């Protein structure tokens, strides 16, 4: 099941060296991401976004090794060890899921390697467990839920029913929502992780008299919930983080998701420099619209590329400083690192719409401006 895609770019860079051209030290990046099984859509988007940035840069000194973790923590750890010890990568990236990230990142950074996260942002690594060699190019896990909580307060909802799967990220989600939501809760339910039938929960929503519903149900769980909710005849507005309403899965939910408000740090119609070009080039290259995962992969690659242009990767101090500057033009607009190396960025509210035959999102409003996570102060760095 392993797939190894190796960019042979390094060789070209080497020959340029021999020809006497001055070139920076080549950098080897190991990407461990999910390319098979149920969650593969996310990993594919991160990989494609990342490789798009590499291709656009034309930088021949960047070599990327890609392997599939099949969403298994043990496999991810094994690949990470192999990449660090026998392939001698300088930087690791690519992991989608927080439990895999927790298994790989601490040991990677303690071995003096850099880790750039294109998705997972567990709270443990944002607060006391922060590390100078760990940069998160996506978000801290709570951020989007906090944005939705702020929106629910602003929209004047008084009785929101909130629901998430019973696992660490699910608990972080509801905690994040409640941190910014000022109304009352009509109910708070934890479902089984991977649950696909929500009849019992929808009946509770109906009986609770809620005026709105907040759900964090990533991937297939969200698809199942939205389809069943639409059939139930409970017509209260639904909100959630972008994970349940992103480009990759909206087509599978279809009409049932139209009108849903969701929070994201990026949207395809966001009017910032570079976003339009990013969306168009991604579409031209891969024949589909990018998702927020693609943006995160794209930004992770650009962070590495920008640092490469300023510093030698073997000079850890200088490379770290160059990464921290975040000198990139992100499709999501203003982007900078907080002191815990997690992003300070805007969180927007998007609305699901139908555009031609495609279901997608449009920007509705700004939820939180220059938002930073709640754990930065615990980080001693």
Partner 1 sequence: MTSALIIEQLLNGLQFGVMLFLMAAGLTLVFGVMGLINLAHGSLYMVGAFACAAVASYTGSFWLGVVASLAASAAAGALVEVTVIRRLYNRDHLDQVLATFALILIFSEGTRYLFGSFPLFLNVPDMLAGPISLPGGLQYPLYRFAIIVVGALVAFGLYLLISRTRLGIRIRAGESDRAMIAALGIDIRLLYTIVFALGAALAGLAGALVGAIQSVQVGMGEPVLILAFVVIVIGGIGSIKGALVGAVLVGVVDTLGRFLLPQFFQLFMDNAQATSIGSALASMSIYILMALVLVVKPKGLFPANG
What one-character-per-residue DSSP string does 157-213 give? -SEEEEEEESSHHHHHHHHHHHHH--SEEEEEEEEPTT----HHHHHHHHHHT-SEE
How near is the Cβ of 145 to partner 1 at its closest, in Å? 16
CB of 134 to partner 1, least distance (A): 27
- Please, what is the minimum distance in Å from the beta carbon of residue 267 to partner 1? 19
Q: How many residues make up the chain in this entry? A: 381
**Contact of 178 with 204, CB cutoff 8 Å:** no
Residues that bind partner 1 (CB under 8 A): 1, 35-38, 40-41, 44, 166, 188-192, 194, 196-197, 199-201, 203-204, 206-207, 219-221, 223-224, 227-228, 231-233, 248-249, 251-256
For partner 1, the closer CB: 190 or 316: 190
Q: Which of 278, 273, 272 is nearest to 298 (CA)?
A: 278
Separation CA 50–CA 285 (nearest Å): 12
Nearer to partner 1, 60 or 71 (CB): 71
Alpha-helical regions (H) of the chain? 9-18, 40-57, 73-85, 98-110, 143-154, 168-180, 199-208, 220-232, 247-253, 275-286, 292-310, 316-324
* CB of 35 or CB of 54, closer to partner 1: 35
Question: For residues 183 and 254, which CB has a smaller minimum distance to partner 1 in the complex?
Answer: 254
Whether the Cβ atoms of residue 217 and residue 186 lie closer than 8 Å to each other: no
Query: What's the closest the beta carbon of residue 201 comes to partner 1, in angstroms?
Result: 7
Give the C-alpha separation, 60 to 83, whole Å: 20
CB of 257 to partner 1, least distance (A): 11
Tokens of 98: 């927080």
* CB-nearer residue toward partner 1: 57 or 251: 251
Of 82 and 286, nearer to partner 1 (C-beta) is: 286
Name the minimum Å distance from CB 261 to partner 1. Answer: 21
């Amino acid at each position: 099941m392993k797939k190894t895609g190796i960019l042979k770019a390094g060789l070209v860079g080497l020959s340029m060296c021999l020809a006497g051209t001055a070139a920076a030290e080549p950098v080897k990046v190991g990407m461990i991401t999910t390319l098979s099984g149920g969650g593969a859509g996310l990993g594919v988007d991160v990989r494609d976004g990342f490789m798009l940035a590499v291709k656009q840069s034309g930088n021949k000194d960047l070599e990327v090794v890609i392997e599939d973790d099949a969403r298994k923590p043990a496999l991810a750890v094994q690949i990470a060890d192999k990449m660090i010890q026998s392939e001698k990568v300088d930087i690791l990236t690519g992991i989608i899921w927080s439990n895999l990230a927790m298994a790989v990142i601490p040991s990677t950074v303690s071995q003096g390697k850099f880790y750039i996260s294109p998705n997972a942002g567990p709270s443990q690594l944002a607060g006391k467990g922060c590390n100078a060699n760990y940069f998160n190019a996506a978000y801290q896990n709570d951020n989007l839920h906090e944005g939705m909580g702020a929106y629910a307060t602003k929209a004047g909802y008084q009785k929101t029913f909130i629901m998430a799967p019973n696992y660490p990220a699910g608990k972080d989600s509801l905690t994040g929502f409640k941190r910014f939501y000022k109304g009352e809760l009509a109910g708070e339910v934890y479902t089984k992780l991977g649950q696909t039938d929500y009849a019992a929960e929808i009946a509770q929503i109906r009986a609770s008299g809620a005026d709105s519903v907040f759900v964090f149900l990533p991937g297939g769980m969200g698809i199942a919930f939205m389809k069943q909710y639409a059939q139930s005849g409970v017509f209260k507005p639904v909100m959630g983080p972008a994970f349940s309403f992103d480009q990759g899965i909206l087509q599978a939910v279809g009409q049932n998701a139209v009108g849903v408000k969701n929070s994201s740090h990026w949207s395809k119609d966001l009017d910032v420099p570079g976003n339009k070009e990013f969306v168009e080039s991604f579409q031209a290259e891969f024949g589909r619209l990018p998702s927020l995962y693609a943006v995160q992969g794209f930004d992770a690659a650009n962070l590495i590329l920008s640092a490469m242009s300023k510093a030698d990767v073997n000079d850890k101090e200088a490379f770290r400083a160059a990464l921290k500057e975040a000198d990139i033009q992100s499709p999501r607009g203003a982007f900078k690192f907080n002191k815990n190396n997690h992003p300070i960025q805007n969180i927007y509210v998007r609305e699901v719409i139908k555009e031609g035959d495609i279901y997608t999102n449009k920007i509705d409003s700004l939820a939180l401006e220059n938002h930073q996570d709640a754990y930065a102060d615990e980080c001693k760095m």
